[in-house]
Structure 1
Amino acid sequence: MPEKNLDFGKFGARGIKGSAAVARKLDELAGGIATPVTAKRGLIARLHYLTKSGKSRQAAKDAGLTVTDRTLKAWLEGKRRPSKANLERIDRAYRMVRRQNVARHLLQRLNRDGRGTRVEIHPLNQSQVPRPLQRVVEYRTMNVRRWDKIVTSWAAGDHQGLDDAWTTDVLPDLGSQWGQYEYVTNIGFAA
Structure 2
Amino acid sequence: MPEKNIDFGKFGASGIKGSEAVARQLDWLAAHIATPVTARRGLMARLHYLTTSDRAWQAAKDAGLTVSDRTLKAWLEGTRRPSKANLERIDAAYRAVRRRNVARHLIARLNREGRGTRVEIHPLDQSGVARQLQRVVAHRTMNVRRWDKIVASWAAGDHQGLDDAWTADVLPDLGSQWGQYEYVKNIGFAA
TM-score range, shorter chain: over 0.9
Looking at structure 2, the residues matched to 52 and 117 of structure 1 have their Cα atoms a distance apart, in angstroms, of 33
Looking at structure 1, the residues matched to 18 and 31 of structure 2 have their Cα atoms a distance apart, in angstroms, of 20
| TM-score (structure 1 length as normaliser) | 0.98
The superposition leaves residues 26-50 of structure 1 with CA deviations (integer Å, 9 ceiling, x where unpaired) of 0111121111111111111100000
Give secondary structure in 2 for the equivalent of 1:143: strand
Looking at structure 2, the residues matched to 118 and 128 of structure 1 have their Cα atoms a distance apart, in angstroms, of 30
Shift of 1:74: 0.3
Indicate the residue corresponding to 1:47 in structure 2. 47
* Ranges of 4+ aligned residues in structure 1 off by more than 2 Å: 1-4
Percent identity over the alignment is 84
Looking at structure 2, the residues matched to 121 and 108 of structure 1 have their Cα atoms a distance apart, in angstroms, of 22
Alignment pair present for 1:104 and 2:104: yes
Indicate the residue corresponding to 2:164 in structure 1. 164
The code of the aligned residue for 1:46 comes to R
Stretches of structure 2 lacking an aligned partner (at least 5 in a row): none
Alpha-carbon RMSD: 1.0
**Contact 1:2 / 1:167 at 8 angstroms: preserved in 2?**
no
**Contact 1:122 / 1:138 at 8 angstroms: preserved in 2?**
yes
The superposition leaves residues 46-94 of structure 1 with CA deviations (integer Å, 9 ceiling, x where unpaired) of 0000001111111101111111111100001111111111111000000
**Contact 1:123 / 1:137 at 8 angstroms: preserved in 2?**
yes
Looking at structure 1, the residues matched to 79 and 56 of structure 2 have their Cα atoms a distance apart, in angstroms, of 23
**Contact 1:2 / 1:182 at 8 angstroms: preserved in 2?**
no
Indicate the residue corresponding to 2:113 in structure 1. 113
Stretches of structure 1 lacking an aligned partner (at least 5 in a row): none
The code of the aligned residue for 1:166 comes to W
Give secondary structure in 2 for the equivalent of 1:110: helix
Looking at structure 1, the residues matched to 133 and 3 of structure 2 have their Cα atoms a distance apart, in angstroms, of 19
Cα gap change, 1:3/1:153 in structure 2, threshold over 3 Å: closer, same or farther? Answer: farther
Indicate the residue corresponding to 1:35 in structure 2. 35
Alignment pair present for 1:145 and 2:141: no
The superposition leaves residues 127-186 of structure 1 with CA deviations (integer Å, 9 ceiling, x where unpaired) of 111000000100111110100000000001110100000000000011100000000000
The code of the aligned residue for 2:109 comes to R
Alignment pair present for 1:85 and 2:88: no
**Contact 2:3 / 2:180 at 8 angstroms: preserved in 1?**
no
Indicate the residue corresponding to 2:68 in structure 1. 68
Cα gap change, 1:176/1:129 in structure 2, threshold over 3 Å: closer, same or farther? Answer: same
